[in-house]
Structure 1
């Protein structure tokens, strides 16, 4: 019953925003794009839900058929038309399968800013093994033929491909779904450094752990970066109970070491590069 009530209230709220934009539309020249990127199961849905509570944000989740098809962003002309028709100050899109293309998307949808949502690999793996039980099969195919990777291998450097495919081939059937999920966490998040996103002035890192343990500071920083008015109500649904709900997954030592090194590299980023 609560789920039905919440869905009904959300629909009413979104309708209210649409009516408001119709009465007080944001001038086209003042409209800006905001992109939410990162790796799967990193908390991007929570970030989108928070942003959706802003009166100034027109939010397109990856389940929205207007902007996405099977979780992939529709062709850019369709997205540009949606942005053109929007009446809100901020046009906000999920860009998970397209995270490797952030600068190009930002240029085509300018003016634009983006955040990269990062979550510790242990929690991501615990979530992935439930939601994506065949990731190890996906990586076995990728190791045999990079072209079979689809969005997973788009933007992947040759160095990273050799590293990942070598690990997969070396361990063969011993590669569990947990270790495969950890490898995917690695090669999707290492893009942040390989693509130089950490040096881009309009791309910032948002740590999931900060979001759920310090929601006021983190969300106010996000809204300030995105140019949205902040109110504590927007993060009223945020709780820290999602952290370390289950024991750390059992990973191949090589995979665990790889992920831990990347995790530490993220921790060493200077504060101006993060929210």
Structure 2
């Protein structure tokens, strides 16, 4: 058993190194350093600011508000983490935090709850993307202050392109495992209803390419927002990444209002306002992506139709909470 665990660890480490090398080649070293927060000066400065806050205004253990940042990988969640981490009131537990995560997945609920209860910060931000399908359960963990959740989604084409650049055909392999029943207990196949599994099989993932797979996975995971009735909850905020990057101040103020959190310009100082590729004005054109040939991927027409329909539904909901 020990030998098997050691082999598993070596394989996991090798895959992670290969992924980072591919990401560095496609996006550049600077992008990798920024995304994984590898700059020691930045990290040390943040840690010192939080220590000073705990000394001057630290809260009683057990009073911290848990905030779960969920959605789908490659959807801009790191941008929100970086902004909220600049606030000394917030303790951040990102996916690489070994106290509450193991290989990007949450440790048992009692470990998570105990970590949040120990905090002397006002908020504890946790990013359990692999457990997005459990956000309703996480919000119901006993013994914690009433929590909040932020569900982030991104334009399907931009997200698919980013996913394939960093993770290759990982989404496609997961869909194939769901379709043939070999997914087992892996997070990608959890809390999927029979209709969704049937849809995946109908679309024959063994015939799709990695971009089709990334787009279909976008549809499957973001559909959970509605299927879990998160759209009816006052403690879950839907956040559109493409709106955040075009109007960062307005969207961060919206987020702060939702969290009952003091607004400060530093929360979005790292976001240079720009026109997002996924702006709503780009949604004109035919359903298979004629709206911008340089940006839009040539997806399978069936997957394009599913994603466009869900995107419109998500956009309407995000605007309702604006």
Same fold (TM over 0.5): yes
Pick from 146, 149, 152: which aligns with 1:114? 149
Q: Which moved more, 1:104-113 or 1:89-98?
A: 104-113
Which residue of 142, 147, 167 corresponds with 1:132?
167
Of residues 179, 192, 201, the one that matches 1:165 is 201
Contact 1:122 1:248 survives alignment (8 Å): yes
Paired residue for 1:244? 277
1:99 & 1:168 partners in 2: Cα distance? 25
- Once the two structures are superposed, what CA deviation does each residue of 1:89-125 show, in whole Å capped at 9, x if it has no partner? 0011002111111121011144101110011101100
Q: 2:71 is matched with which residue? A: 38
Cα drift, residue 240 of structure 1: 4.7
- Equivalent residue number for residue 227 of structure 1: 260
CA distance in 1, matches of 2:173, 2:130: 18
Is 1:254 equivalent to 2:290 in the alignment? no
Structure 1 unaligned spans of 5+:
none
Alpha-carbon distance in 2 for matches of 1:5, 1:126: 23
Which SS does the other structure have where 1:97 is aligned?
A: helix
Q: TM-score w.r.t. structure 1 length?
A: 0.91
Note closer, same or farther for the CA distance 1:183–1:8 as it changes in structure 2 (3 Å cut): same
Shift of 1:40: 1.1
Q: Which among 141, 158, 173 is matched to residue 177 of structure 2?
A: 141
- CA drift of 1:149 comes to 6.6
Deviations along 1:169-193, whole A, 9 cap, x unmatched? 5xx33x0000000010000000001
CA-based RMSD: 2.3
Whether the aligned pair in 2 keeps the contact of 1:31 and 1:91 (CA below 8 Å) is: yes
**Number of matched residues?**
271
Counterparts of 2:71 and 2:259 in 1: how far apart (Å)?
17
The aligned counterpart of 2:125 is: 92
Deviations 1:198-236 (A, max 9, x none): 001100101101110000000111122112211112211
Task: Quickly say closer, same or farther: Cα 1:216–1:166, change in 2 above 3 A.
Answer: same
The reply to whether residue 59 of structure 1 matches residue 59 of structure 2 is no
Unaligned stretches of 5+ in structure 2?
1-28, 279-293
CA contact 1:28–1:84 (8 Å) conserved in 2: yes
Q: Which has the higher contact order (CA 8 A, sep 6+)?
A: 1
CA contact (8 A) 1:115 1:206 kept: yes
Tell me, what secondary structure is at the counterpart of 2:317? coil
Contact 1:60 1:92 in 2 (8 A): yes
1:70 aligned residue (85, 103, 121): 103
Runs of 4+ in structure 1 deviating by more than 6 angstroms, as ranges, are none
TM-score, scaled relative to structure 2: 0.78
**Do the aligned partners of residues 149 and 189 (structure 1) sit closer, same or farther apart at CA in structure 2, a change above 3 Å counting?**
farther
